[in-house]
């Protein structure tokens, strides 16, 4: 199995060359447990760990490319020495009073925001997910699943289009092979697609249908409220025929936003554009005179629910900014040069050169 099968490309190879890293010491994290990782190396699948006092720049997550080495004993797991700077990082706000963001996945090219149509469409939830995904640097797509159980497709279509803000919208059902075929046609070899959504919406079912075999565990939803039972418990990348990499994730109870920078602007491009006509540049669209956004709501050109959603996410993101420790945040943005230095000075690494 070569690294290309797991998403390695020329740009990554250039990065490695800059650091003087040989491809035999590169691996991709494809699974994560409490304190160990599953990685794919040039020579196959391995377990890996973070050695104590490793000095590793950031904690590896699924999707990360890492520098790792085997041994010392053949039965030992590999040791992770360094994490490549991430191209994209899917992060959410910490739960409770926790400080700092939690990185869910790295180096994801596309995120499928999955929404089950066995429940009424929830545009507010879509907006929240879209803001988070845009902010990650990955491209969002909205996957409306379980169309066989959908009630009012016409109304759903217009609602979802409003929320999508240009993100592609796709419709699938496990009962409709054609819909799976169409979705498969959007996948490309070596690109990483993460599935994201609440429990029970059919993420793992979709992975299995696209793979053509049952590789991910699925579980029935509860009878009463159609909620899932949190069947998937770990994040894992599956390579499917055709070469696409699908990252299945556990259902999310409540997606907290992190420090949204551009995500909010992308997800609410309509509000942003109307706001350019507000009299005051720092207008908060609450009760300011000459507020173009409030005018748009009055005139029926902007859904008040959407504006409320924008405000709520903006407030949450601002709260995250205040909570965030600026030093920790700066450190989380991995600095390649520092990482390389740390690694090269690692006694073990030196010995091997
Ligand atoms: N009718 C119908 N049922 C579906 C469809 N897709 C998934 N299901 C069912 O929905 C239930 C939940 O599916 P999963 O794939 O386990 O859902 P999940 O999103 O992976 O859930 P978690 O792993 O808990 O986050 C299963 O009983 C599936 O058979 C669909 O398109 N139509
Ligand atoms: Mg699942
Ligand atoms: Zn305004």
Of 45-59, 132-146, 170-184, 189-203, the range with the lowest mean pLDDT is 45-59
188: left (phi over 0), alpha (psi -120 to 50) or beta: beta
Over residues 182-235, the pLDDT tens digits come to 999 999 999 999 999 999 999 999 999 999 999 999 999 988 888 998 999 999
Between 120 and 339, the higher pLDDT residue: 120
- The fold of the 89-248 domain, in CATH, is Rossmann fold (3.40.50)
User: How much is the pLDDT for 349?
Assistant: 42
CA dihedral 196, 198, 204, 209 (to 10 degrees): -80
The environment of the single-atom ion ligand 3, i.e. residues with CB closer than 5 A, is: 278, 283, 285, 291, 293
pLDDT at 341 over 80: no
Please name the CATH architecture into which domain 3-86+335-348 falls. Answer: Beta Barrel (2.40)
| CATH number belonging to domain 263-323 | 1.10.40.50
Which of ligand 1's atoms lies nearest the C-alpha of 146? 31
Per-domain residue ranges for the chain? 3-86+335-348, 89-248, 263-323
- What are 297-323's pLDDT values in tens digits? 999 999 999 999 999 999 898 888 777
Residues, beta carbon < 5 Å, ion ligand 2: 203-204, 231-232
DSSP-derived secondary structure letter, 74: T
Measured in residues, the chain has a length of: 353
- C-alpha–C-alpha distance, residues 287 and 270, integer Å: 19
- CA angle 174/208/206 to nearest 5° reads 50
- Among the atoms of ligand 1, which is closest to the Cα of residue 174? 31
Per-residue pLDDT at 111: 98
For ligand 1, whether the C-beta of 218 sits within 6 Å is yes
């Amino acid at each position: 199995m070569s690294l290309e099968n797991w998403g390695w490309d020329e740009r990554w190879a250039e990065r490695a060359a800059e650091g003087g890293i040989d491809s035999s010491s590169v691996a991709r994290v494809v699974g994560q447990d409490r304190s160990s990782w599953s990685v794919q190396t040039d020579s196959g699948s391995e377990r890996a760990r973070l050695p104590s006092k490793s000095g590793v720049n950031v904690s590896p997550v699924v999707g990360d490319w890492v520098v790792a080495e085997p041994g010392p004993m053949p039965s030992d797991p590999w040791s992770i020495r360094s994490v490549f700077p991430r191209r994209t990082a899917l992060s959410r706000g910490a739960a409770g009073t926790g400080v700092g963001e939690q990185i869910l996945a790295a180096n994801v090219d596309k995120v499928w925001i999955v929404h089950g149509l066995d429940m009424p469409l929830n545009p507010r939830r879509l907006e929240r997910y879209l803001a988070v995904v845009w902010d990650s640097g990955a491209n969002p797509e909205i996957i409306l699943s379980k169309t066989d159980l959908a009630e009012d497709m016409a109304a759903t279509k217009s609602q979802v289009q409003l929320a999508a803000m240009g993100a592609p919208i796709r419709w699938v059902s496990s009962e409709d092979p054609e819909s799976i075929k169409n979705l498969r046609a959007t996948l490309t070899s070596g690109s990483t697609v993460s599935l994201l959504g609440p429990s029970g919406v059919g993420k793992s079912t979709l992975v299995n249908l696209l793979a053509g075999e049952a590789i991910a565990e699925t579980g029935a939803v509860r009878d009463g409220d159609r909620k899932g039972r949190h069947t998937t418990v770990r994040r894992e990348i599956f390579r499917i025929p055709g070469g696409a990499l699908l990252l299945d994730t556990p259902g999310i109870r409540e997606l907290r936003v992190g420090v949204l920078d551009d995500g909010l602007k992308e997800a609410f491009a309509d509000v942003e554009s109307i706001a350019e006509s507000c009299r005051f540049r720092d207008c908060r669209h609450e009760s300011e005179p000459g507020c173009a956004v409030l005018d748009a709501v009055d005139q029926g050109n902007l859904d008040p629910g959407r504006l409320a959603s924008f405000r709520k996410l903006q407030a949450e993101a601002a709260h995250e900014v205040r909570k965030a420790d600026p030093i920790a945040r700066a450190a989380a943005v991995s600095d390649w040069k520092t990482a390389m230095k740390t690694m090269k000075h690692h006694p073990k690494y030196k010995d091997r050169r």
